[in-house]
Amino acid sequence: MTGSFRDYLMLHFIVLIWGFTAILGLLISLPAIELVFYRTLIASIGVALLFTVKKGSLVLPPIDILKVTATGGIIALHWILFFWSARVSTASVCLAGMATTSLWTAFVEPIFNRSKIKWYEVALGLLVISGLLVIFSFETGYWLGLLMALGSAMLAAIFSVINGKLTKKHGPYQITFYEMTGACLASALFLPIYSVLIAEDGLKMNWEGYDWFWLFILGGVCTVYAFSVSVDLMKRLTVFSINLTINLEPVYGIVLAVLIFGESEKMTPQFYLGTAIILVSVLSYPVINYFNRRRKPVRPLG
């Protein structure tokens, strides 16, 4: 599973696409809840069309459909917080918070699998907290957006661990279809509550300007296309190399945000220092974990 140069190039391209999602959330005029509803609707239809072309089966046991669909509800809340974070702060702040996803996973996974938390995971977690404290100290105006991004990252860790279990029983495309359907239903059910208790001007379901174009990019390219290509790459690349590259998503996203939005995305040097601390800890985790697994247990003498 060494993979070719083209495979690694394609992997970075997919991560670049995922880094573009926060920017799309700002380009689309729709609020976070309505945006997630349309994204998941487009994605679920897209995966269904993909199954039709490939002549695949979507049939699963009813109890499994319920489990996968419920996981989609977690994904919906994850995306709502993600896009909301970018709206109340900036794309850069949102992506800085999302950079903690892999470290959240390091703590969530032992809870689900009832295993011990490793010492280096605790150390890296403390390093992430120090990076967040640096950001909070100098970017107090964006604390709400950063908290939303941290919540979104935690939810991303939870559903990724759940998906790790689901993929042992079902195909990735089946999981994606039911999760996108579940996310769409969850966001649709939340819309009336949102319109009454949160939205000051009611729901905004109408598309404006180029919303239709950005929504289909978000639902088609960033969700259906990116997912299908990443699944295909798993046949030729190791999980370690894929996870290590995905950790670069916030880097690509922050760079793209500055290039596209210019001055509105430029932050203080302390923000980038805090983000750098977070990224160092995130990128260090898979490296340390890789070498830790390669260590052979020492045999007792005699």
90 band by pLDDT with thresholds 50, 70 and 90: confident
**pLDDT attached to residue 215:** 94
Distance CA 11, CA 8 (A): 5
Task: Say what the pLDDT of residue 234 is.
Answer: 66
Q: What is the mean pLDDT of residues 122-147?
A: 76
Cβ atoms of 178 and 63 closer than 8 Å = no
Residue that wins the pLDDT comparison between 265 and 162:
162
Which is higher by pLDDT, 56 or 1?
Answer: 56
**Cα–Cα distance for residue pair 161/236, rounded to 1 Å:** 22
pLDDT of residue 270: 78
Angle between helical axes of 101-113 and 143-166 (0-180°, round to 10): 40
pLDDT at site 181 = 94
Is 80 exceeded by the pLDDT of residue 174? yes
* Residue 94 tokens, joined: 């949102």
Mean pLDDT of 287-302: 62
pLDDT, the chain, mean:
81
The pLDDT of residue 136 is above 90: no
DSSP code of residue 220: I
Of all residues in the chain, the percent with pLDDT exceeding 70 is 85
Give the C-alpha separation, 47 to 67, whole Å: 19
Residue 239 has pLDDT above 60, yes or no: no
pLDDT in tens, 227-238: 777 767 766 766
How many Å apart are CA 89 and CA 195, to the nearest integer? 22
Of 200 and 70, more confident: 70
Query: The pTM is what?
Result: 0.81
Q: For position 1, what pLDDT does the model report?
A: 45
Q: Is the pLDDT of residue 169 over 60?
A: yes
pLDDT at 301: 44
Of 126, 131, 137, the residue nearest 97 (C-alpha): 131
User: What's residue 44's pLDDT?
Assistant: 93
Give the dihedral of Cα atoms 40, 45, 51, 53; nearest 10 deg: -140
Calpha distance 249→278 (Å, rounded): 13
Higher pLDDT, 124 or 224: 224
User: By mean pLDDT, which of 43-57, 98-112, 128-142, 194-208 is the weakest?
Assistant: 128-142
Give yes or no for residue 179 having a pLDDT over 70.
yes
Confidence of residue 66 (pLDDT cuts 50, 70, 90): very high
Computed on alpha carbons and rounded to an integer, the radius of gyration of the chain in Å comes to: 20
The whole-number pLDDT of residue 171 equals: 78
Whether residue 271 contacts residue 139, with contact meaning beta carbons closer than 8 Å, is answered with yes
Task: Using pLDDT thresholds of 50, 70 and 90, give the confidence band for residue 43.
Answer: very high
* Nearest alpha-carbon partner for 135 in 296, 295, 269, 292: 269
